[in-house]
Amino acid sequence: MDIWGAGTRALRSRSPWAADIGVALLVQAAVTMPWVLPRDPRLEPATATAYLLTTLTVVPLVWRRRAPARVLLAVIAAQGLYGLAVDGPGQTLPYTGLVALYTVAAQAPAPRRRMLGALTLAIVFPSTAFNTGEARELVFSLIVFTAAYAFGLLTRTRQAYTRAVEDRARQLERTRRIEAEQSAARERARIAREMHDILSHAVSLMIVQAEAGPVAVRAAPERAEAAFDAISETGRDAMVQLRRMLGVLREDEGPQDAPRGPQPALAGLPALIERVRAGGLHVTHTTTGPDLPLPLDTEATVHRIVQEALTNVVKHAGADHVSVQLDRTDYAVTITVTDDGRGPGTTTGFGLIGIRERAAAHGGTARTGVGPGGRGFRVHVTLPLTTSPKGVPS
């Protein structure tokens, strides 16, 4: 039934006249039966004039959905003319009147369809009296016209329900499409942050080590070897992380084929800080508070924020010393990275934006500005923990 209904709607949308002309032809075939079937010789002859007048009652049905009220009035007038002008063969059912009344109930506005429905039922009485005057014909005519009107109302209700369902489906499809686009945008932003953190950190450290290498070769060859080892280690680590990420993004590999590895965590902070120290920057790292396990996504965010803050120091601050402090409570973890470099205005680009975005993704805050005593630069981030003892993040 759904396939048939869809096909009918498609036909109507492609050729608005097709359905109405088809209905008119079917009604014409029905009213033609008294002229083609054998007739009792005692009945009035089926003349061509009577047939033409009968056809005249059918022709308005071609416009039934475009002007339902006028078509019904035209059908009533044509049937009245037929009854007054000729004494031709009757019909088993008043086909044209039923179709016209059905269309009015299904298509016309409420006031007009009620008025025309009442008018049609009122005309049944004089029409029956003029025809046979029998109560049986009157009751039958009232029943069939009332049924036609009721079926028209049911069709109207079904069409309204179908339109509402289709509108709802279109709205849901639009909502799903918007959500998918937003999800894709968030994922692109997340991937951009990850790529920025990996590349910016690795390249910054390698540049610092490479610039210090020639000086170390002349002054302290043993330090030059350490610098080159640090460059190699940093490059290999960056390649591993990039290969992992690109493997996940490749469309021609299934999830089982993409290389996997653990997300950065708090356990990786010492190695991160050691790589920065190898570039000649003095880094101190302290942690306070209870040693409670953190959610894995929070640990990854803490690691990335510290990584980006240190990268900014290496790239922009010109600092000699930087401190990394983690303060943990049952309700939140606070990250403070402070350097003694040139201060605000020296760290520009996507790094600080990425730090703020990572903090906001956890419902936290990120503040940046001048360091203690008006010297250097400080990054201060607070990440609430949703697994607090009272179940309410601070």
In a domain, 16, yes or no: yes
Helix (H, G, I), strand (E, B) or coil at 279: coil
Torsion sign, CA atoms 96, 100, 106, 107: positive
Q: Which residue type occupies 209? A: Q
In a domain, 383, yes or no: yes
CA dist 299 and 148 (Å) reads 72
Which residues make Cβ contacts (< 8 Å) with residue 243, sequence separation at least 6?
259
Do 202 and 311 touch, CB atoms closer than 8 A?
A: no
Answer with the one of 98, 133, 168 that is the final residue of a domain. Answer: 133
Q: What are phi and psi of 333, to 5 degrees?
A: -125, 130
pLDDT at 187: 74
The residue range of the domain holding 332 is: 282-394
In a domain, 315, yes or no: yes
In a domain, 166, yes or no: no
pLDDT at 87: 67
Query: Is pLDDT of 12 > 80?
Result: no
Query: Which parts of 15-109 fold into alpha helices (H)?
Result: 16-36, 48-58, 68-85, 95-107
pLDDT at 383: 92
Among the listed ranges 60-64, 67-71, 174-178, 189-193, which one has the minimum average pLDDT value? 189-193
CA dist 342 and 319 (Å) reads 7
DSSP bridge partners of 383: 333
In a domain, 221, yes or no: no
pLDDT in tens, 18-45: 888 888 889 888 888 877 777 666 666 6
Among the listed ranges 86-100, 181-195, 248-262, which one has the minimum average pLDDT value? 248-262
Answer with the one of 133, 166, 185 that is the final residue of a domain. Answer: 133
Exposed / middle / buried, residue 58 (Cβ in 10 Å: 0-12, 13-18, 19+): buried
Torsion sign, CA atoms 189, 243, 248, 301: negative
State the CATH number of the domain containing residue 391.
3.30.565.10
pLDDT at 248: 57
In a domain, 19, yes or no: yes
Q: What are phi and psi of 327, to 5 degrees?
A: -115, 120
Average pLDDT rounded to a whole number, residues 92-107? 87
pLDDT at 334: 93
CA dist 51 and 82 (Å) reads 10
Question: What pLDDT band is residue 256 in, cutting at 50, 70 and 90?
Answer: very low
Average pLDDT rounded to a whole number, residues 280-306? 85
In a domain, 158, yes or no: no
pLDDT at 333: 92
Residue 203 neighbours by CB distance under 10 Å: 15
Question: What pLDDT band is residue 186 in, cutting at 50, 70 and 90?
Answer: confident
DSSP bridge partners of 337: 324, 379
Answer with the one of 108, 133, 158 that is the final residue of a domain. Answer: 133
pLDDT at 335: 92
Residue pointed to by tokens 């290389």: 259
Do 63 and 16 touch, CB atoms closer than 8 A?
A: no
pLDDT at 254: 46
Q: Contacts by 68-75 with C-beta closer than 8 Å and gap 24+?
A: 68/100, 68/103, 68/104, 68/106, 68/107, 68/108, 69/104, 69/108, 69/112, 69/116, 71/100, 71/103, 72/97, 72/100, 72/101, 72/103, 72/104, 72/116, 72/120, 73/116, 75/100
Q: Between residues 318 and 4, which one has the greater pLDDT?
A: 318
Angle between helix 48-58 and helix 68-85 axes, rounded to 10 deg = 160
In a domain, 216, yes or no: no
Average pLDDT rounded to a whole number, residues 280-303? 85
DSSP bridge partners of 335: 326, 381
| Domains identified in the chain, total number | 2
